[in-house]
Chains A and B, each alone.
Chain A
Amino acid sequence: MTADPKPGDELEASFEQIFERAPLGLTLTTLEAGTFVRVNEAFLSLSGYTREALLGRSPRALGLWADPGTYERLRERLRRDGMIKDFEAWLQPKVGAVRNVLLGAAVVAFGGERCVLTTAVDLTWRTEAERRLREREARYRSLFNSTDEGFCVVEVLFEGGAPTDYRFLEVNPRFEQQTGLHGAVGRTARELVPELEAHWFEVYGEIARTGRARRFENGSQAMGRWFDVYAFRLGENGAHVGILFKDVTERRQAEAALAALTRELEVKVMKRTRQVQELAGQLTLAEARERARLAGVLHDDLQQRLYAVQFALRGLLPHAKTAEAQAKVEELKGLVADAVAVSRTMTTHLSPPVLRHEGLLEALVWLGRDMAARYGLEVELDAPSRVTVPNEGVRVLLFYLVRELLFNVVKHAGVDRVSVSLRETAGGAGDQLELSVRDLGRGFDPAFLDGGAGGAADGTTGLGLLGVRQRLELFGGHMALSSAPEAGTCVSISLPRSALTLG
């Protein structure tokens, strides 16, 4: 037989449940002895003790308050006010770090005894979050204050939807140094710099409107400075823009100075190159003139004397009475004729008469005929009807270059045909004269172009191929060789148009 539960029992059971399951720590201690009478799950969890370890013992005996004065202060407040609200204390759990708790307490009657009902809320997570927030703020603040870059927060001001100015809300200590603006906070950009260019409002207005951050470099004539800027909108909406910037005026000026210096150097190099080319042209001409002078001496003096000897020997012939004497005279005639032939060859090689008076094309035609007559080499010339090389030094150089290459064909290629082509390519600065000498002969080692090879078959060319090639490079020209054994040789020469009209 069971007795019906009384309404008071039900209520007690309910309070029991509420006490036990409440999400905040609850304890009941006797007012007199201060020992635990009841503790709930949440407090067990907070303190780390078992129920058995707590009941009948006092927080003081257990060392539950990290600050020993806590107990006295709590009792004092309770005696005075009968209750305690929002009392912050430090609880030392059985294991682990001290926890920050917010206590509340009231004197209640329990089981006929005056007891203290204490509530304990764990504040540790909140304290930790606040600490972190403070730390982060301090970090950002120190970054804001100590960064080399200027930083400011502005509010973009719009009129009729268009950005017209912006107000400084916050600036960092570097701001003044980077901008030269003083007392900016609270004032607008146009108040500080009346002539400030519109592009500054426009770019910040666009960032405020679209929320798209931008990095750019721009100058302000009104401020006399250049800035490297990173700007971004602050917050989801609105007109606040954060601007991180650096004064890069010095760098820009250095760049401009460097560019000016580079230009100046380029001009100097161009001038010097021109001088070198002119000197190379003059040198080629001087050499050509010296050769012409030697050719003149050979022709006008030595050859004339040899002709005179020929005539004298001819006159001597009728006076040679014996067959032996006649044979001697004939032998002498033959020797003198050989001397005349050598002298003539040297004269034309030293200074082809045609080169002095006519153009490059005519000189090449003459050269082709001369090579055919002298060495049996047939030269096919493929060239436009008119080629103008106003600079005599370059004209002479090109002529000798082709002649050296033709001698090379005679000596190495083992063929009796060669083609020479001359082209003028048009088109702006790329204008150039292209010349190539191609044969289908044995081919040769390309190293000959870099070495001391070259020279005429009879050793009277003067400069040699290497010298001519180096001279060509002084004029900005270029020589390329492609040769393979038994597949012939092609030497291509290009010379910028500008070199042809030097001087």
Chain B
Amino acid sequence: MRMVLRRLLEEELGLVVLAEAETAEAALEDLPHLSPDLVLTDLSLPGASGLELVRALKFQRPGLPCLVVTGHVDPSYELAASAAGAAGFVTKDDPDRVLEVVRRLLGCAEG
């Protein structure tokens, strides 16, 4: 999944994917060495959840937008993600929407 998403972001939007991580813990470990404009995360992760990652990022890098890309369609998850500080919430079943939100968030970040 991660691989196809990366390819789509690179090919479709011409973005550079700085890093991929298996877990929230690994992502937080990599972060000090990187300067991303956007972080994409799933909610279901082995170990700490995507929500916890969003909260940690919000604390460590308040200006860094974080987009939740998930298979959970229940609205309660969107509410929870928003409360944790996510900049956006998209479901995985609509790649066009994912690309659109990424584009919008990067536009905002760049602006």
Chain B residues, Cβ within 8 Å of A311:
1, 4-5, 8, 92, 95, 98
Number of contacting residues on B, CB 8 A?
21
A75 interface hit (Cβ, 8 Å)? no
Q: Which among A44-52, A253-261, A298-306 touches the partner chain?
A: A298-306
Chain A interface: which size bin? 10 to 19
Q: CB < 8 Å: which of A315, A337, A340, A353 contacts B7?
A: A315
Chain A residues, Cβ within 8 Å of B11:
315, 318
- Within the assembled complex, what's the spacing in Å between the Cα atoms of A75 and B95? 154
Given the interface contacts A300-B44, A315-B12, does A307 sit within 8 Å of B7 by beta carbon?
no
A344 interface hit (Cβ, 8 Å)? yes
B73 interface hit (Cβ, 8 Å)? yes
Interface majority SS on A: helix, strand, loop or mixed? helix
Q: Are B93 and A307 in contact (CB under 8 A)?
A: yes
A314 interface hit (Cβ, 8 Å)? yes
Q: Are B92 and A310 in contact (CB under 8 A)?
A: yes
B74 interface hit (Cβ, 8 Å)? yes
Identity of the chain B residue whose Cβ is nearest the Cβ of A313 in the assembled complex: B95
Interface string of B90-104 (1 = CB under 8 A from A): 001111101100000
Chain A residues, Cβ within 8 Å of B5:
311
Among A299, A315, A337, A353, the most chain B Cβ lie within 10 Å of the Cβ of A315
- Within the assembled complex, what's the spacing in Å between the Cα atoms of A289 and B73? 21
B62 interface hit (Cβ, 8 Å)? no
Q: Are B1 and A315 in contact (CB under 8 A)?
A: no
Given the interface contacts A304-B1, A308-B1, A337-B93, does A314 sit within 8 Å of B8 by beta carbon?
yes
A265 interface hit (Cβ, 8 Å)? no
A283 interface hit (Cβ, 8 Å)? no
Chain B residues, Cβ within 8 Å of A307:
1, 71, 92-93
Q: Are B12 and A308 in contact (CB under 8 A)?
A: no
Identity of the chain A residue whose Cβ is nearest the Cβ of B93 in the assembled complex: A340
CB distance from A365 to the nearest CB of B (A): 11
Q: Which residues of A contact B (CB under 8 A)?
A: 299-300, 303-305, 307-308, 310-315, 318, 337, 340, 344, 353-354
